[in-house]
C-alpha cells in the first residue's frame, strides 16, 4: 500500500497507535489506521455411506492434488454458510452443516481454518472451475500420498477413526499441534 485510502497522503508510517499491542500501518497526516487481520477459510468434511467428498484442485497452488472442499469466507456470510457454499462451488454437492470439527490457525501465513462436519443432501457432479474432479472416496480409495496439506490428511484420518469409535471430537490448535476436545 502506497497511499492512504482516506486522504491520499503518501506519508504512511509503522507504529503502535495508543494502547495497541501491535505495530500498524498508520497515515501520519489523517491518523487513519490500516488493520491487517488473518483470513478465514471455511470448509467441510462430508461423509456419505462411508465415503468422503474430496476434490482435486484445478488451480494453483498445487494443481492435481486432492483436498477437502474449503475456501475464503466472504463478507456478509456466516462461517457455516461459507463452508456450505464452498462445498457447492468446488464439488457441486449440496450439504447441511452438522457441527464444527476442526478449528486451526496457521499463524505463519495468517490464516484461520474452520472445518465442519456436514451431511450430503445432493451430489450433482458439476464441480466448479477450481476443481478438476470431485468424488466420494472410501478410505482405501483416498489418494493419501496426493493430499498436499498435512492438516487436511489429519482431519480425514481422525474422522475415520472417530467414526469407527462412534464419537466425534472438535480439534483446536495450530495446523500441526493442537488438542481434540470431546463433549462429556
Ligand atoms: Zn490519510
Give 147's DSSP letter: B
Residue 170's DSSP bridge partners are 181
Does 22 have pLDDT greater than 70?
yes
Expressed in angstroms and rounded, the spacing between residue 25 Cα and the centre of ligand 1 is: 11
- Per residue in 153-170, pLDDT (tens digit) is 999 999 999 999 999 999
Q: Measured at the alpha carbon of residue 79, what is the angle toward residues 75 and 83, in degrees to the nearest 5?
A: 110
Expressed in angstroms and rounded, the spacing between residue 39 Cα and the centre of ligand 1 is: 25
Q: If residue 20 lies in a helix (H) or strand (E), which one and from where to where? A: none
- For residues 64-74, average pLDDT: 96
Expressed in angstroms and rounded, the spacing between residue 24 Cα and the centre of ligand 1 is: 14
Expressed in angstroms and rounded, the spacing between residue 88 Cα and the centre of ligand 1 is: 41
Predicted TM-score (pTM) above 0.85:
yes
- Per residue in 106-145, pLDDT (tens digit) is 999 999 999 999 999 999 878 888 889 999 999 999 999 9
Expressed in angstroms and rounded, the spacing between residue 26 Cα and the centre of ligand 1 is: 8
Expressed in angstroms and rounded, the spacing between residue 11 Cα and the centre of ligand 1 is: 8
Residue 114's DSSP bridge partners are 42, 103
Residue with cell 454437492: 93
Expressed in angstroms and rounded, the spacing between residue 36 Cα and the centre of ligand 1 is: 16
Expressed in angstroms and rounded, the spacing between residue 49 Cα and the centre of ligand 1 is: 57
Measure the CA–CA gap between 86 and 88, rounded to whole angstroms: 5
Amino acid at each position: 500500500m502506497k497511499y492512504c485510502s482516506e486522504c491520499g497522503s503518501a506519508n504512511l508510517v509503522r507504529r503502535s497507535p495508543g494502547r495497541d499491542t501491535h505495530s500498524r500501518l498508520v497515515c501520519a497526516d489523517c491518523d487513519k489506521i490500516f488493520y491487517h487481520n488473518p483470513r478465514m477459510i471455511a470448509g467441510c468434511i462430508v461423509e456419505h455411506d462411508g465415503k468422503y467428498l474430496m476434490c482435486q484442485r484445478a488451480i494453483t497452488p498445487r494443481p492435481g492434488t486432492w483436498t477437502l472442499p474449503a475456501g475464503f469466507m466472504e463478507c456478509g456470510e456466516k462461517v457455516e454458510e461459507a463452508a456450505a457454499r464452498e462445498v457447492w462451488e468446488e464439488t457441486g454437492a449440496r450439504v447441511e452443516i452438522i457441527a464444527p470439527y476442526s478449528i486451526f490457525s496457521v499463524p505463519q501465513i495468517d490464516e484461520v481454518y474452520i472445518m465442519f462436519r456436514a451431511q450430503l443432501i445432493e451430489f450433482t457432479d458439476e464441480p466448479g472451475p477450481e476443481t478438476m474432479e470431485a468424488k466420494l472416496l472410501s478410505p482405501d480409495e483416498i489418494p493419501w500420498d496426493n493430499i498436499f496439506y498435512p492438516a487436511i490428511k489429519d482431519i480425514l484420518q481422525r474422522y475415520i477413526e472417530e467414526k469407527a469409535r462412534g464419537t466425534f471430537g472438535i480439534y483446536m490448535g495450530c495446523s500441526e499441534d493442537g488438542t481434540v476436545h470431546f463433549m462429556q
